[in-house]
Amino acid sequence: MQSVLAQISNGLIVSCQALEGEPLHSSFIMGRMAVAAKQGGALGIRANSISDILEIKKQVELPVIGIIKQVYGTHPVFITPTMKEIDDLMETGAEIIATDATARIRPDGSTLEQFYQKIKTKYPQVILMADVSSVEEAIYADNLGFDIVGPTLYGYTEETRGLKIDHNNYQVIKEMVKQVKKAKVIAEGNVSTPEIARSLLENNVHAVVVGGAITRPQQITKRFVDAMQK
């Protein structure tokens, strides 16, 4: 475990994801994105879906944070929500598995603690990342035994809807770094510039995940167009 966490220390993790309906939705393209990320100096990849992860692992020898986005009806928990997704991710060889670690009940009716115990009973050596939406959830995940916590879902739950991490003071990040005692804190969410990524490292996070600012050209284009039309 330590070697995988050491590999990504102080580094950039590039989120190579494109959902159905997006222009770059293709496992082949995500594989090439991962190659480009590696050539640029990324130390890890975050990826969604079995097919994307398998293709990425064919293309690069970098640690992968694997997730499966699976929606069950109208249930709000969809990032690796059940043991089925955990089982499928374990088959891919992803070095780290991330899951929604908010306080919400999961689609199968289990609590986060029950879900965590199921995972660790079946896969005691797996490295787990907690995608949380608050400092309190980060502390709880740390106490349960998660290896990594990140504010991935800050702004995406009922309680935090519409909020964004303030990149002027990084208060949420600073509190997580201060309050989380054992797990590594990885910054994720709305990291739109290299300067923000650097500032996050200076606030003692273990690593930084960047997604849309690198791998979603439609978002990058819109930023340019919006700025030009002001």
For 122-158, what is each residue's pLDDT tens digit? 999 999 999 999 999 999 999 999 999 999 999 999 8
∠ CA 191-81-138 to the nearest 5 degrees? 50
For 8-36, what is each residue's pLDDT tens digit? 999 999 999 999 999 999 999 999 999 99
Architecture of domain 2-229: Alpha-Beta Barrel (3.20)
Percent of the chain scoring above 70 in pLDDT: 99
At residue 163 the predicted structure's pLDDT band, cuts being 50, 70 and 90, is confident
- Residue 1 above 70 pLDDT? no
Query: Residue ranges of the domains in the chain?
Result: 2-229
Span 99-121, mean pLDDT? 97
Span 42-59, mean pLDDT? 98
Tokens found for residue 32: 């090439």
Per the prediction, the chain carries an average pLDDT of 96
Q: Do the Cβ atoms of 47 and 17 come closer than 8 Å?
A: yes
Q: Scanning the structure block, which residue is given the tokens 């709000």? A: 76
| Other C-beta atoms lying within 10 Å of the C-beta of residue 93 | 11
Please report how many Cα atoms fall inside a 13 Å half-sphere around the Cα of residue 217, on the Cβ side.
6
